[in-house]
Structure formats: structure tokens, C-alpha cells
Amino acid sequence: MGITQDWLGFHNHWDDSEGRVPGCKERVSQPGEWCPLASERIETIPKRDWPDLIGSSDYKGLWSSVPLIYDQNSVGSCAAEGSVGSVTTLRSFTGCSLVKLSPWFVYHTTSGGRDGGSGVDENLRFIRDHGVASDKVWPRSKGWRKSPSDEAIEDAKNYKILEFFDIQTEEEFGSALLQGFDVTFARRGHCIYAIDLVSTTKIRYVNSWGNWGDKGTAVESLGGVNFGYGAWAVRVVTDTRQPLIVPASELVLPRFEPCPEIVED
């Protein structure tokens, strides 16, 4: 099914998509070509063991670590948004200070200079190899067509993905979430990233539509993951242990990025 037709089913699923457009292309790399297979690096936990692990006090998922919800506005940059959102959340999860990053710094290259979308694997590889500039140095208001400055290219080196792992099955997907990774993937031609294993059949994910759904997130079927577009477990540092349990009264709600006026100077 083509991206346009695929997107229509996804778009109609939510009435408050506010005119967002399709943007996630199918993967261009073969499994294991650009990164290790998850089965080689991440323990696979059988589904029969998931209920006990999900129900334990040690598992809290990453929802409390989501510090910022990005908003792609009307640009087809969802794969860049999801990949950069993943980095932002994982930095928070591992104790780094909040730095708002610039998805369109990445999308400038991965889109090929045209707003025709991009693949998740292309964005993850770019961030691993080159990083993503902070919004302070290269704000979204610069747009995605303008070539980043030398300062932005240098700044991006501070915010890289350490590794990402190619996920091929639902069991690997859930196993990664249980072990402190988030998973960047596509759902019906739209890139999002999973932060929590809700049950043996449901996952919670973060969208890039700003203040949408449940504080920028929603719950979907694990069976809806389209492995033709790809799914990858991501980490930004070597330590992927679960965070300390945070009382609900101390949780900080995510910030929502406003849609800026683009100034293409």
C-alpha cells in the first residue's frame, strides 16, 4: 500500500490531526546493514513473561521522562521529529539537562532538500554520525530548506545517538521497552516513538503533533507496527537502567513546542 493511501487510514483514525501531512518513507537499509540487529545486543524476553514484568514496581516505562513534545506543523518531517524526540526523551531519562533540539536541522539533509518526507533509518543514521543541533543555535524558525551554519554543525556533535538497533519482531520490540530503550518506528506511514509497554498487545507512543491526545501521547496496538518502514531501539548513553521511581506528585508534565513562523532568510 502506498504512503498516500496508507496515510489516509491513519489520518481518519484521528479527527484532530490538524492538517498534518504524510512524511515517513519506507526503510532504505537492509536489517543489520546500518546498525546491529536487536537480537544480537538486546535480550529477548518471551511474551509470556511480560505481564509479570509490566506489573512489577521496577517497571515504569519512559513516560515520566518525556520533557518536550515536538510539533512538525504542516511539514512532512515526522521521521526527523520522531528520531529527535527519541533523543530528547532518552537524554532526560539518563539524567541529562533538557536541551530543546532542532528536528529541521536533520530534515534539511534527510529530505534531500525537498519536503517529500524521509525514512526513519536515514534520520537515525544521520543523528548517530552527525548529531542534531540545539534549537538555541539553529531554531526551527530557520526552516528546513536553509543549509545549517558551521556553528550549528559543530553544536550538533554534542547531541548524538550512541547506537540504534534494528528490531524485527514484536517480541524484540516489547523486550527493548522493558529494558529502558525507546523504539522509533512507523505506524501507517507516520513516524512516532514508543515509550512504554502497556500490555502484551498495547504500547504507548509519543507523537509530533504538539498538544494532542493524552499530553502528546496515545496508546496503540503493538500489532500495528509496520516493519516495512522499520523499527529501531535507540540509546544515547551506555547506561540504559530504569530510572528511579518518581512519585506522581513530583512528575513534570511535558512542554509543548509552539509552531513558529518560519523565516527563510
- CA angle centred on 162, ends 159 and 167, rounded to 5°: 125
Query: How high is the pLDDT of residue 81?
Result: 97
Domain membership flag for residue 264: no
Domain membership flag for residue 262: no
Domain membership flag for residue 265: no
Is 12's pLDDT higher than 50? no
* Structural domains of the chain, count: 1
Query: How high is the pLDDT of residue 261?
Result: 54
Please write the tens of the pLDDT for every residue from 143-196: 999 999 999 999 999 999 989 999 999 999 999 999 989 999 998 889 999 999
What is the CATH number for 174? 3.90.70.10
Domain membership flag for residue 125: yes
Is 240's pLDDT higher than 90? no
SS3 per-residue string spanning the chain: CCHHHHHHHHHHHCCCCCCCCCCEECCCCCCCCCCCEHHHHCCCCCHHHHHHHHCCCCCCCCHHHCCEECECCCCCCHHHHHHHHHHHHHHHHCCCCCCCECHHHHHHHHCCCCCCCEEHHHHHHHHHHHCCCECCCCCHHHCCCCCCCHHHHHHHCCCCCCEEEECCCHHHHHHHHHCCCEEEEEECCEEEEEEEECCCCEEEEECCECCCCECCEEEEEHHHCCCCCCEEEEECCCCCCCCCCCCHHHCCCCEECCCCCCCCC
Domain membership flag for residue 263: no
Q: Give φ, ψ of 29 to 5 degrees.
A: -95, 155
Query: How high is the pLDDT of residue 120?
Result: 97
Strands 255-256 and 68-69, by their bridges, are parallel
Q: Domain residues for 29?
A: 3-256
Domain membership flag for residue 261: no
Domain membership flag for residue 192: yes
Please write the tens of the pLDDT for every residue from 31-90: 999 999 999 989 999 999 999 999 988 887 899 899 999 999 889 999 999 999 999 999
